[in-house]
Structure 1
Amino acid sequence: MKPIKKSLLVAYLLVVILHLYAIIVGDESIVRFTKPILMPLLLAFVMRSLPSTAYRLPLLMGLFFSWLGDILLMHQTDNSLFFVFGLSAFLIAHIAYVWAYAKAQGKSGIPSVYKLGVSLVFLGYAGFFVYQLWADLGEMRIPVTLYALVISAMLSAAAFRLKATTAESFRWVLLGALCFALSDSLLAVNKFSEAIPNASFLIMLTYTLAQGAIAWGMIKYQNYDDAKRVL
């Protein structure tokens, strides 16, 4: 790994640690300073690590709209509309990730029954989750339902890459997708249903792990591209 790329990755990890530490000790000034620079660091790392490929643009879009969502959600206590706008930004980010996953894969040869089963599992989780929160969602029922459906699509798209990429790329991207869903689930329960102990820490821990794992896994798809060119 070249020095600049390594420095950007290290910087991201260090800011993640500082951000999580600030949450633990309750230093809101550091939290508000570190959160807006997390995604730009990861975005810069991806830009330095990936050539101009078909999946580079949607991956960068996913990171950009995630950053926009981070900024908007930081102001949700000032105006409830910021939560809706933040949710919309993350919805676009997930759609961009679905696009990126579809571009960063070859022919898998996995049976259709696997894809159907995976889709039903993730769709079932989304449906069950929304059902559990339904009574508490109020006017957010439709936006949250739509968001849950997009999350299930993002999870399915990550799982569909089985045997269509390197094992390393598949595992990292799927881990990232699962952590993203977990982070969003924690956020939704904490906001709409009941307070979760150490919610902010757990949400950001799973979120930063998710974004880092997705970016790393997508970068590792280059190994699959290189192998195809050799063959």
Structure 2
Amino acid sequence: MVRKLLLTAIIMMGIIYIFFIPADPVSFKIFMKLIPMALIILYAMTMTPVFSRTYKQIITLGLFVCMIADGVIYWFMMGLITFFIGHIFYIVGFRHMGQKSVPVWAAIPLLLYGAGMAVWIAGLQFAAGQLVLGIAIIAYIGIILTMGWMAIRTRMKLAIIGALLFMLSDSILAIDRFVFALPYRDALVMVSYYAAQTLIAASIGSRVAKYSVNRNNLIK
């Protein structure tokens, strides 16, 4: 019952923040942005881990770090570094639950995504003489790619979908910031972001598949 109420509150507060909170004042915007993440952390804390309490602790810490990143992302490099640390927690947590290697048919798209984003977005920064920013972008692409990779190894549906949605959210934000403006950017980024964090939190109560993996049962 408590989890259902928290999930409802996450959805409602997410909708309020995304569609109804004005850009100014910034301090109030940041405050409202953090409320859904605080609720997601509470949601994670109510989950009963099926196999590992350690996984719950690591993922909850990752959620907390990401909440801090949400607040400091207005100072872009500080936010980037903080999200980087949050992804490290997720990687460690997913590695703790990792079962088997990533199948080739899933590994190839991930690697192509990483290479494509690095060449496209970081390449533009290098061409503009922004060496430090280009290196930072490559490092961040590497960490979110690793996060997605480790999530697939867990064989947990919620963790996998959550990680892929996180990658989608970051990709939309990066394209809008460094390449060209995207319509409805804020809504697209935040809907996929809140959904990603909620699913990662919910993965604490997931079961891990114990059978061999193929295209049809990767995320069962």
Q: What TM-score, normalized to structure 2?
A: 0.81
Deviation at 1:217, TM superposition (A): 2.3
- The one-letter code of the counterpart of 1:92 is I
Partner residue in 2 for 1:229: none
Give unmatched runs, 5+ long, in structure 2. Answer: 211-220
1:128 counterpart = 2:116 = yes
- The one-letter code of the counterpart of 2:42 is A
Residue 10 of structure 1: which of 8, 11, 14 is its match? Answer: 8
Relative to structure 1, the CA distance from residue 14 to residue 222 in structure 2 (aligned partners, 3 Å threshold; closer, same or farther) is: farther
Q: What TM-score, normalized to structure 1?
A: 0.78
SS at match of 1:197: coil
2:170 and 2:189 in contact (8 A); partners too: yes
1:176 and 1:213 in contact (8 A); partners too: yes
Residue 216 of structure 1: which of 180, 202, 208 is its match? Answer: 202
Relative to structure 1, the CA distance from residue 212 to residue 199 in structure 2 (aligned partners, 3 Å threshold; closer, same or farther) is: same
**Structure 1: distance between partners of 2:114 and 2:209:** 33
| Stretches of 4+ aligned residues off by more than 6 angstroms | none
- The one-letter code of the counterpart of 1:36 is L
**Structure 2: distance between partners of 1:128 and 1:223:** 31
Give unmatched runs, 5+ long, in structure 1. Answer: 77-81, 163-169, 225-231
**Structure 2: distance between partners of 1:5 and 1:179:** 22
- The residue correspondences of 1:135-150 to structure 2 (distance < 5 A) are 135-137=123-125, 138=130, 139-150=132-143
SS at match of 1:185: helix
Partner residue in 2 for 1:96: 89
2:18 and 2:190 in contact (8 A); partners too: yes
Deviation at 1:117, TM superposition (A): 5.4
**Structure 1: distance between partners of 2:85 and 2:48:** 21
1:20 counterpart = 2:13 = no
- The residue correspondences of 1:1-231 to structure 2 (distance < 5 A) are 3-22=1-20, 26=22, 28=24, 31-50=29-48, 53-73=53-73, 76=74, 82-105=75-98, 107-108=99-100, 114-115=102-103, 118-137=106-125, 138=130, 139-162=132-155, 170-221=156-207
**Structure 1: distance between partners of 2:81 and 2:111:** 20
**Structure 1: distance between partners of 2:183 and 2:103:** 36
**Structure 2: distance between partners of 1:64 and 1:119:** 29
SS at match of 1:160: helix
- The one-letter code of the counterpart of 1:198 is Y
Deviation at 1:205, TM superposition (A): 0.9
Q: Which one has more relative contact order, counting CA pairs under 8 Å at least 6 apart?
A: 2
Deviation at 1:22, TM superposition (A): 1.6
1:22 and 1:28 in contact (8 A); partners too: no
Partner residue in 1 for 2:216: none
2:121 and 2:178 in contact (8 A); partners too: yes
Partner residue in 2 for 1:165: none
Partner residue in 1 for 2:214: none
- The one-letter code of the counterpart of 2:86 is A
**Structure 2: distance between partners of 1:47 and 1:134:** 37
Number of matched pairs: 201
Partner residue in 1 for 2:218: none
**Structure 2: distance between partners of 1:187 and 1:27:** 17
